[in-house]
Amino acid sequence: MTILILGGTAEARQLAASLVADGVDVISSLAGRVSTPSLPPGRARVGGFGGVDGLADYLRREQVSAVVDATHPFAAKITKNVVQAANRTDTPLVRLERPGWREHPRSSSWTWVTDASAARAAAEPGRRPFLTTGRQSLEDFQAWADRDVLVRLVDPPAALLPQRWNVILSRGPYRYAGERKILTDHGIDVILTKDSGGTHTVAKLDAAGDLGIPVVIIARPEPPPVLLLKTVAEAVAWCRSPRDLRFVGPSIT
């Protein structure tokens, strides 16, 4: 039995480690976006598949028994592609997605938006924003060259950023004290983030709440029409006896 894990998240790495420890043949797939990815145990491959056709070919070629889509909640394209590829090849597929922050005690005080440009509009009054929406969204904020934006990224930005912007390069998990210090040291007056969920990056939101700093948060895209699991333990159990594809919507071609 070969399990393909679409990864790039802490949960994907934990799942690979658990399955490999159980003697399961695992291939973890990474997009190759970060320069030094932490590679999970088991086999790994890096780079895109070449769309739905390439992914379907890959599933057949590698005789993949089942797929766990454990990509980031905002990696919408690969999540859509794997639904189609799995459907086409009759490969059992499940989605592992950590719960978002809708249940956070302060979530009702945040401004929820649907994308990066709506986030910029909602955060417009801020003069010292803390931007943690990811490298791919930076273009949407170029109009803010006149303000002191603090950006946090894993890897350096691909393009030159406005002169007044400051960049912090780091990778979570982040703790409350450090996050609070960043917010106060930089005089942050609004935080922009995505509903990534989990515990690794939530501390900034706790600190913002305590300091009275407004939060603008981008809501998750629609989940795919497949069985959704919230924990690595559930995914491990599913991999032991993967069920058939379970689309809840109309069949996808």
Hey, what are 87's tokens?
A: 């459907």
Q: Are 152 and 132 within 8 A, CB to CB?
A: yes
**Quick one: which segment of 46-54, 108-116, 123-131, 235-243 binds ligand NAP (CB under 6 A)?**
46-54
Binding mask 98-137 for ligand NAP (x = CB under 6 A): ------------------------------------x---
- Closest distance of CB 91 from ligand NAP, Å: 15
By CB under 6 A, name the one of 7, 42, 92, 224 that touches ligand NAP.
7
Number of residues this chain uses to bind ligand NAP (CB under 6 A): 23
Helix (H), strand (E) counts: the chain: 7, 12
**Quick one: which segment of 43-51, 177-185, 212-220, 223-231 binds ligand NAP (CB under 6 A)?**
43-51
Is residue 59 part of the contact set for ligand NAP (CB under 6 A)?
no
**Quick one: which segment of 28-36, 164-172, 181-189, 205-213 binds ligand NAP (CB under 6 A)?**
28-36
Is residue 193 part of the contact set for ligand NAP (CB under 6 A)?
no
Closest CA to 169 of 13, 10, 34, 38: 34
Angle subtended by helix axes 232-240 and 10-21, to nearest 10 = 40
- Closest distance of CB 212 from ligand NAP, Å: 27
- DSSP for 103-131, please give it: TSTTGGGSEEESSHHHHHHHTTT-SSEEE
**Residue 153: how many other CB atoms lie within 10 Å:** 18
**Quick one: which segment of 70-78, 143-151, 177-185, 243-251 binds ligand NAP (CB under 6 A)?**
70-78
**Residue 249: how many other CB atoms lie within 10 Å:** 9
Distance CA 57, CA 37 (A): 25
Distance CA 242, CA 68 (A): 10
Is residue 10 part of the contact set for ligand NAP (CB under 6 A)?
no
Binding site for ligand NAP (CB under 6 A): 6-9, 29-31, 33, 48-51, 54-55, 71-72, 74-78, 81, 134
